[in-house]
Chains A and B, each alone.
Chain A
């Protein structure tokens, strides 16, 4: 497709379970970003990839959160031992590269509910 694709669009999981959220960026975009948006808040930065490597993971809240991008395209955000406070919309975004003022394109998000 033409835009950033995220799956699943909605996920309900039980507290303590493991969750994976997938992001398929726009073809050719080398920069990929994950953000988390809690209800009534703006998106907050989690992690940024340039190619395959995580260039900045300073926004990951704790070691239960991990993200990979093994081939420099699709990325997976992994959350272990989920907690109710992890409930949020997880947004993925991509851009041609991260430094030239290129437009950042956002996906529609994966809405995670932990019960």
Chain B
């Protein structure tokens, strides 16, 4: 079945550092790929998505590129802020059928001033 593997946290960075959170997936066909973010005390929010190979999703300075050859969707940001501290989930929805989301285990990011 489908699965998502992402790097374990927590990740601790200083403000303005470069962020990479690795994510790889296993799925047949061409899934859609997502990054969700969960800020402290809040619900899951969609951060960005990509629906086909080589697409780049971007939002709030975060980017991720759908790489089918490496089955990856790594999340990057050039300069993190304290307000980016949250748990980040990589996820996929299998192509065809309904929107059943398969999530990774989450990576906690802590940005210190």
Contacts and interface: CB of A to CB of B under 8 A. Distances in A.
Given A55-B98, A101-B51, A41 B43 contact: no
Contacts of B46: 103-104
Interface residues of B, number: 22
B98 A98 contact: yes
Given A40-B105, A41-B105, A42-B103, A99 B43 contact: no
Given A41-B105, A42-B89, A108 B98 contact: no
Instruction: Please tell me the size bucket of the interface on A.
Output: 20 to 34
17 contacts: A4-B43, A31-B98, A35-B101, A40-B105, A42-B91, A43-B44, A43-B103, A44-B103, A45-B100, A45-B101, A45-B102, A56-B98, A56-B100, A98-B99, A101-B32, A102-B99, A108-B43
